[in-house]
Structure 1
Amino acid sequence: MSDVEKPRDKLRTGFTTGASAAAAAKSALLAMINQKKIESVEVLLPKEKKIIIKISSCQYASDSARCSVIKDGGDDPDVTHGAEIIANLSLTDKVGQIEIDGGEGVGRVTKPGLGLEIGSAAINPTPKKIIIENLVLAGKKVLTENGINVIISVPMGKEIATKTDNPRLGILGGISILGTTGIVIPYSTASFAASIRQSLDVTIAMKNDTVVLTTGGRSEEFSKKEFDLPDHCFVQMGDFSGYTIQQCAKKGIQKAHVAGFIGKLAKMAAGVKQTHVKGSKVDMEFLAKIAGTLTTNHTILEQIRKANTARHVQEIIIENNVKGFFTAVCAEVHKQMRQHSEGKVELDVILFDFDGKILGRYNSS
């Protein structure tokens, strides 16, 4: 890679599906022009950055070519890491025009709020711009006599998409071609934050003003049994509870059901906005303090202080029948989330056990 800075901790950067598609398209054009296989290609990215990407396969004829790239997520591999991104390029009689569409394994947009036309391929504006800019650079002469048509496909895209948010966002049949910079920075939180904003935008565009914010897949699964709402109203906020509720307030969401398990909710109750396991620990003293308002039994309180995990605290509370504890935790989460939303969002906080039973609940009403 040229002109790409590595993070200070020396983790290996990767490149996005958008950069992969641009590399495949540019190499296909060069292979067709030069009538030879392309081994690697330099791709111009936003802000004048450049990256060299290896080409996996390359076939060409006089007026068409097909090249592919294996997407590399660096040291932050996501579900698209290792996917083959193919560009089928052909000449058209629309002089100077470049058309880009999605083929097999690239999703189609079926809901508003994504910044893409309904029915169009889920190729985001920045990747599309990168593809066009690179084709213009490589094919100035070609474009004076012809147009160019590019079809981006991902053979395993349909299967990969089931592990993404695409189905809930109304992107069906495959993955999205994404990336605002072209570079994947390991453990970047920016993409997760972007997906939260995108989920909320779809909810609003679909004329819904209620969301269910969950900390992960299992809490979402249990929440879906509790709330009869469309799929796009369920938003996985992961570790970003403070950010998500701020975005809800900013975007005009009226009501948020917040659901999770004891570990994440205990951190949120203590005022931790980003609850990643490496970034914060459950404050046992804080949980003991809550329990102390409900029981004077010093043995129980000492057990909580010495507990290994939040789940362990849950077991201690249930075993000793400390009534009201889980609701009290939910009330503390409510208080924190209310502050983050500046009181603009009606809140309902639910604490599930690991079988999906509601242990505690607290809401504004």
Structure 2
Amino acid sequence: MDVDGDIDTEGTEGRALRPGWTTGACATAAAAAATTALFGGDFPDPVTITLPGGQRPAFALAVTERGDGWAEAGVIKDAGDDPDVTHGALVRARVTAGAGGSGVTFRAGPGVGTVTLPGLPLPVGEPAINPVPRAMIREAVTAVAQAAGRAPDLVVEIGIDNGEVLARRTMNARLGIIGGLSVLGTTGIVVPYSCGAWIASIHRGVDVARAAGLPHVAACTGRTSEAAVTRHYGLPEQALLDMGDFAGGTLKYLRRHPVPHLTIAGGFAKLGKLAQGLMDLHSKRHAVDLDWLAGVLADLGATPDLVAKARGANTALEVLQLADAASLPVADRVAEMARAVALRVLEDAPITVDVIVIDRQGGIIGQAGGVGQAHSPLPR
């Protein structure tokens, strides 16, 4: 994922993870090669570009074509060790001459989406080619044009093979990017397994919701909780934030960019971590504190024997089942405590907060701060 800053790129076994290149860097390389061919030169292969940080990587060309008044080149994206949906995709750039004085203009080719909602860093109707990749492409093709003694009046069409299908595995439709993928990147370099891109997508989701005037958003830890919130509140897709494990990044951004009503939804274990005050809910960073959960049961009036069983439990689910058998509303208590933590992080932001705890089947088993808090019991 493309981020700026210092990121830990050590794998789980101590192996240094291999970085890769952003879609924007690949599109820039393809556009530079196509522009060279358009002006009568040979396709440079490999083609070298300059990244925003000054690095000069070289890219092999996978596709080269030209015809009357156009040239096209393609680069296969290598995202390194990052689990990027576009890893291995063919990124194409077709360049044609534009009208005199038009400068460099951009079009969405097959597989690249179009912006249809406000709140993104591009106007509605524009191809989903983000500002930094646009600047990289513009600089690269302008340099080629000047070297050839030509005016940089060019139409650059970026496409990604199979992009419309790949986009179904991203948040693009929710953000109002229709018809394909986005051309992204701020550094040109993909840093594997970083959290920065995910948090950035949460921020953009908040921006889109605010620009659309939505009064209610839901920050969810996964697809099951999204489905539960959608059933419970009937929220539109643009109101759903894929928070994942990044509670802190979500709440801190909302503190600065508030919406009137926030629902936080997730499973018992993850929201139990939030209730403890943890901002990173990932299992690799923080395990469920069973002693803490046992203490919650004690506060709810559990017998010493039940508290001891909770302390010796293997999972949070086992504690939940023990509490349910004893008719102790532990999920409601976890929701109350998670809500209190969220309100502390939000400080004095004008946001009403409710929390929904769900089971693995998507049923609501705990709630705090909402209207009409009836919920289904945990299946036995």
TM-score, with length taken from structure 2: 0.90
Q: How does 1:62-73 map to 2 (within 5 A)?
A: 63-73=69-79
1:355 maps to 361
Distance 2:368 2:151 in 1: 67
Alpha-carbon shift at residue 37 of structure 1 (Å): 3.8
Contact 1:196 1:244 in 2 (8 A): yes
Letter in structure 1 aligned against 2:214: N
Q: Say whether 1:229 aligns with 2:235.
A: yes
Contact 2:38 2:96 in 1 (8 A): no
1:342 maps to 347
Contact 2:112 2:159 in 1 (8 A): yes
Alpha-carbon shift at residue 163 of structure 1 (Å): 0.9
Q: Greater shift after overlay, 85-94 or 277-286?
A: 85-94
- SS of residue in 2 equivalent to 1:100: strand
Distance 1:171 1:61 in 2: 31
- SS of residue in 1 equivalent to 2:327: coil
Q: Which runs of 5+ in 2 are unaligned?
A: 1-5, 11-15, 372-380
1:216 maps to 222
Contact 1:13 1:185 in 2 (8 A): yes
Contact 1:37 1:59 in 2 (8 A): no
- SS of residue in 2 equivalent to 1:282: coil
Distance 2:98 2:263 in 1: 52
Name the count of aligned residue pairs: 360
Q: How does 1:136-175 map to 2 (within 5 A)?
A: 136-142=142-148, 144-145=150-151, 147-175=153-181
1:321 maps to 326
Contact 2:251 2:346 in 1 (8 A): yes
Q: Greater shift after overlay, 252-261 or 320-329?
A: 320-329
Q: How does 1:118-267 map to 2 (within 5 A)?
A: 118-142=124-148, 144-145=150-151, 147-267=153-273
Letter in structure 2 aligned against 1:277: S
Distance 1:336 1:327 in 2: 14
Q: Say whether 1:287 aligns with 2:293.
A: yes
Contact 2:335 2:355 in 1 (8 A): yes
Letter in structure 1 aligned against 2:175: L
Q: Which runs of 5+ in 1 are unaligned?
A: none
Q: Say whether 1:32 aligns with 2:42.
A: no
Of 274, 278, 291, 2:280 maps to 274
2:22 maps to 16
| CA deviation vs aligned residue, 1:60-116 (integer Å, no higher than 9, x gap) | 347421111111211112111111111111223425722221111111111101021
2:13 maps to none
Evaluate the alpha carbon distance shift between residue 289 and residue 6 of structure 1 in structure 2; reply closer, same or farther with a 3 A threshold.
closer
Evaluate the alpha carbon distance shift between residue 164 and residue 182 of structure 1 in structure 2; reply closer, same or farther with a 3 A threshold.
same
Alpha-carbon shift at residue 263 of structure 1 (Å): 1.6
Evaluate the alpha carbon distance shift between residue 169 and residue 47 of structure 1 in structure 2; reply closer, same or farther with a 3 A threshold.
same
Give the alignment's Cα RMSD to 1 decimal.
2.0
Evaluate the alpha carbon distance shift between residue 300 and residue 120 of structure 1 in structure 2; reply closer, same or farther with a 3 A threshold.
same
Distance 2:33 2:68 in 1: 14
- SS of residue in 2 equivalent to 1:49: coil
Alpha-carbon shift at residue 296 of structure 1 (Å): 3.5
Distance 1:62 1:246 in 2: 53
| CA deviation vs aligned residue, 1:114-173 (integer Å, no higher than 9, x gap) | 021111111111110000111112221446356221110112111111111111111111
Contact 1:107 1:121 in 2 (8 A): yes
Runs of 4+ in 1 over 4 A off after TM superposition: 5-8
Evaluate the alpha carbon distance shift between residue 286 and residue 235 of structure 1 in structure 2; reply closer, same or farther with a 3 A threshold.
same
Q: Greater shift after overlay, 345-354 or 139-148?
A: 139-148
Distance 1:62 1:95 in 2: 21
Give aligned-pair identity as a percent: 34
Contact 1:214 1:258 in 2 (8 A): yes
TM-score, with length taken from structure 1: 0.93
- SS of residue in 2 equivalent to 1:50: coil
Distance 2:279 2:196 in 1: 15
Contact 1:209 1:252 in 2 (8 A): no
Q: Say whether 1:112 aligns with 2:118.
A: yes
Contact 2:72 2:94 in 1 (8 A): yes
